[in-house]
Structure 1
């Protein structure tokens, strides 16, 4: 993608904590720092040099902060308070690309607006201020810039991945007017909306399947179906013979393909008629203003045939892009990284980065110490090369957990929340479009069967309070480990506050999501992960990220590697407690699980 064509509002590299200036700084320097902390530099591709000049000029008003100066100062930042000083008005709200922070919502369990115990679209609208209130001056929202709505189409099941009607809102969730209201409210706030699209299969209650079934029941024992009489028999894969993954069509001798379960008949994706239907569906939603789709179960498009599955993904991508070139597509290809990487050949924008996700993914292994901290950045570098070999314009889609995985609160025995925070921070410091599953930001629990992974959003401890949902049928009783949202929201050391701060950092430094990763090996080790994030065309200012992945304080000499020695400004910090991060000369000291963002 040509980043030079985009305009960015950049956070000034040095954001000073009020009252926490350098130990040798005078009152005048402190006042100057407070003044410049709320400043902004606007740059475009055409005036990058001008923007650089402006920033350099502004830096001169911050006091003597360079480690290369003979009068180097000790800079001390309290992690929690420092992030309160990140001016949200500097977040680049006008960026309109696919490098975002996406909040995944299971509507059924999110927020109930009408008291029936089931979450609904009006409930999501009512809670948009929690996700992103649209006001850059506030700091009490998450700051997510995109939401992914798990299936909202008419369906007979609670999860709604078996669609009965692709162009109708499920009555449990509300009406099309409710959806239009939600979409408008999101766009007003600068939030994009993508919908879950499951086209590998439908519900047995889908009109297409019902008509095909009724027709097959009229056929004689040796009579072959005629799609000119009933076109819907070509929509699915029917057979006289019982095959692996096929179910008996009740009342007949016919069988139909249903790889997931009998209630989800697989579509015949070779059918031109089916592809035409899918094209009509995507156009319907794009015409309404939807910003894109999450593609479900891509590896199942053609079972055990990735070549054909990639071909179909390419057709679907080309179709959607032909309808709206700016539409965003992210795909679920749950397989080994070497396999899902090949799906980038289709031209799809993003693929979920399963290599880093879940209890056995790179993020959790880094936090658990099963792999070195340096391995985290090394693996990011490796996958950037891998993905770009298939599609230079790919946008990674990192995530930590999702609706099919055990929730992260159960990953770390005896964790006081510190490791849960660090893991969330690692995810949000990755490149691309980072995804956060609802409730992850408050450390919700839930594992085992799917229903338990999709428990009610823990807004408050009182299950009978307004807005609380009852959760999926057959869900077990879950005792949460951490406080509910209404308690965490006012606690500056909570998991929720940590996520808010991490997303604010991600938004405030656009290069974090958009740049290339390079491990700084001279200062990286088992406990320290250090990497730079840069743009090949220098369109965005680079950053150095240093993360202490251990449970004890660590010090790093930035002068030990030429790749880090020029980063003299401690621009932002992310800590799991109120412990301070300090930069004294070239020595950076990080408390347990602390993260520092440095600029030149």
Structure 2
């Protein structure tokens, strides 16, 4: 892997909620251009943009109608060209979202595919005949609720959609379709982008024959991923993609790989296999799943989080280190304390992300400690998955109060409210009414306030980023977990040659004791989120609530 990839710090921009330059209530490309200096100042050097392509926006742009056209609400292709040029001038690289497990049902390919069974595009998607009684081919459910099969009268067949019915799945067994995808990738690389984040890439290889899936998490239909995730040709297709496109350019590649274990995950990132640079794994995103799956009233156990992070750290050639993104709740609300210890827990969590081995990912707003939203009604949400889940809970007889609580905790809208730039109207995001309501706490939590405070979360992020970028041990040093049974702490060591860095992250809301495993060796404090932390490494360390510390040992 090239050095710039290992040294990279990625910042994810959820475009429609980042910055609105033309006051229509929707973030846009020119809004990103306006904030490039802000991002440069934070210290990040890779910007990952959620989809900006032409789309009906059924799933906020992850239903793409044309891979080579820009959605007018975000701007023009000239705006994109200017963004790439100005980002590069500032040393910032641009990563685009590659959504090729599915398209929009408004894509030209699907419009033609559904017309007949014998045209050029007829095999671009996953079509199957009904059962004898006319019902769907299998019991597979959609990730967003309902059946994963939708009947098409024109063909008298069903098509597969693992997500919304407006997102038909592509047939990667079709060579012409694959070539069209590779041509699209070349189009964007020739424009100067620096990489791809590949949405749901572990689902692209479908089985020849589908069979019913087990029903899990009290759902009506079978598991959408059963027999599909990490399919028979997944690595063949990704290696082909590497040979046809990725090997020709200096690109960073990040695969989203739901329902993938560590053994399979290493296949994706093993450099000798020539597939991807890193993957998003989901084990640690499942630590607070409950009897109804993702949407639950279960809190995570630290031992589960530590175990899952440790397994991937130990078993992968290179990791992507993240705790949140546009599909997840806010990290300080989920893994920290978004009230009394919001600042300290947000700072501790960034040490965990920055100092493990792998590429760190920051989601917009986490650098100022943005929190979950307390939605008062399902009607305040915009998340299709949340709506469908709430309706499912109603059918299961769950009370409205409990259903709203569970959906509130995990709705993707928690991470999609507008970026909080200042305490003015709509948090400085737009002068118009935003597409989704701003979090009500924006007057207390915003960028302007953090920039004025030398001890803010933003300033701490800068320190952690600078330390990670300037220290070779934190970039490429070996990793080892310590204190694996501690009930309140995740602690690990990064090591290169004779040098070690000890990282201690307390998840406790009270003062606790930690026994230094390197007794008598001495050490120097590199970073802490408390000014009271002593500069020397003692045999016994007393940590304040949600304190994080990093020491150079010996």
How would you bin the TM-score normalised by the shorter chain? 0.7 to 0.9
Q: Is the CA contact (8 Å cut-off) linking 2:100 and 2:201 kept in structure 1?
A: no
Alignment partner, residue 386 of structure 1: 315
Aligned counterparts, 1:157-172, within 5 A: 157=57, 159-172=60-73
Alignment partner, residue 142 of structure 1: 42
* 1:597 is the counterpart of 2:551: yes
Structure 1: gaps spanning 5 or more residues: 7-94, 133-140, 217-224, 362-367, 388-393
| Alignment counterpart, residue 579 of structure 1, candidates 513, 532, 539 | 532
| Alignment counterpart, residue 446 of structure 2, candidates 480, 484, 489 | 484
CA 1:408 to 1:472, structure 2 compared with 1: closer, same or farther past 3 Å? farther
Alignment partner, residue 214 of structure 2: none
Q: Which has the greater radius of gyration? A: 1
**Using CA pairs below 8 Å that are at least 6 residues apart, which structure has the higher relative contact order?**
1
Task: Quote how far apart the aligned CAs of 1:399 are.
Answer: 0.5
* 1:105 is the counterpart of 2:13: yes
Alignment partner, residue 103 of structure 2: 202
Alignment partner, residue 284 of structure 2: 356
| Alignment counterpart, residue 189 of structure 1, candidates 90, 99, 106 | 90
Once superposed, what is the RMSD of the aligned Cα atoms?
3.1
* 1:114 is the counterpart of 2:22: yes
Task: Quote how far apart the aligned CAs of 1:123 are.
Answer: 0.7
* 1:419 is the counterpart of 2:373: no
Alignment partner, residue 523 of structure 2: 568
Q: Distance in 2 between matches of 1:594 and 1:580?
A: 10
Task: Quote how far apart the aligned CAs of 1:259 are.
Answer: 2.3
Task: Quote how far apart the aligned CAs of 1:542 are.
Answer: 4.0
Q: Is the CA contact (8 Å cut-off) linking 1:150 and 1:195 kept in structure 2?
A: yes
Q: Distance in 2 between matches of 1:254 and 1:380?
A: 43
Q: Provide the secondary structure at the position in 1 that maps to 2:94.
A: strand
Q: Distance in 1 between matches of 2:267 and 2:102?
A: 20
Task: Quote how far apart the aligned CAs of 1:112 are.
Answer: 1.0
The alignment's TM-score, normalised by the length of structure 1, stands at 0.70
CA 1:506 to 1:470, structure 2 compared with 1: closer, same or farther past 3 Å? farther
Alignment partner, residue 399 of structure 1: 322
Alignment partner, residue 531 of structure 1: 492
Alignment partner, residue 468 of structure 1: 430
How many correspondences in the alignment?
463
Q: Provide the secondary structure at the position in 1 that maps to 2:170.
A: coil
| Alignment counterpart, residue 265 of structure 1, candidates 148, 168, 180 | 168
Task: Quote how far apart the aligned CAs of 1:464 are.
Answer: 4.6
Task: Quote how far apart the aligned CAs of 1:113 are.
Answer: 1.1
Alignment partner, residue 35 of structure 2: 127
Q: Distance in 1 between matches of 2:355 and 2:419?
A: 25
* 1:327 is the counterpart of 2:228: no
Q: Provide the secondary structure at the position in 2 that maps to 1:496.
A: helix
Q: Provide the secondary structure at the position in 1 that maps to 2:422.
A: coil
CA 1:498 to 1:515, structure 2 compared with 1: closer, same or farther past 3 Å? same
Q: Distance in 2 between matches of 1:443 and 1:529?
A: 20
Alignment partner, residue 152 of structure 1: 52
Q: Distance in 1 between matches of 2:267 and 2:300?
A: 31
Alignment partner, residue 292 of structure 1: 195
Task: Quote how far apart the aligned CAs of 1:534 are.
Answer: 1.9
Structure 2: gaps spanning 5 or more residues: 131-135, 139-147, 207-224, 290-298, 374-407
Q: 1:149-203: CA deviations, max 9, x gaps?
A: 0111111116111111111222111111111111122222222211101101111
Task: Quote how far apart the aligned CAs of 1:489 are.
Answer: 1.9
* 1:434 is the counterpart of 2:348: no
CA 1:238 to 1:188, structure 2 compared with 1: closer, same or farther past 3 Å? same
Q: Provide the secondary structure at the position in 1 that maps to 2:165.
A: coil
Task: Quote how far apart the aligned CAs of 1:381 are.
Answer: 4.9
Alignment partner, residue 240 of structure 2: 315
Task: Quote how far apart the aligned CAs of 1:590 are.
Answer: 4.5
Q: 1:481-519: CA deviations, max 9, x gaps?
A: 751111122223332222222222222223213221124
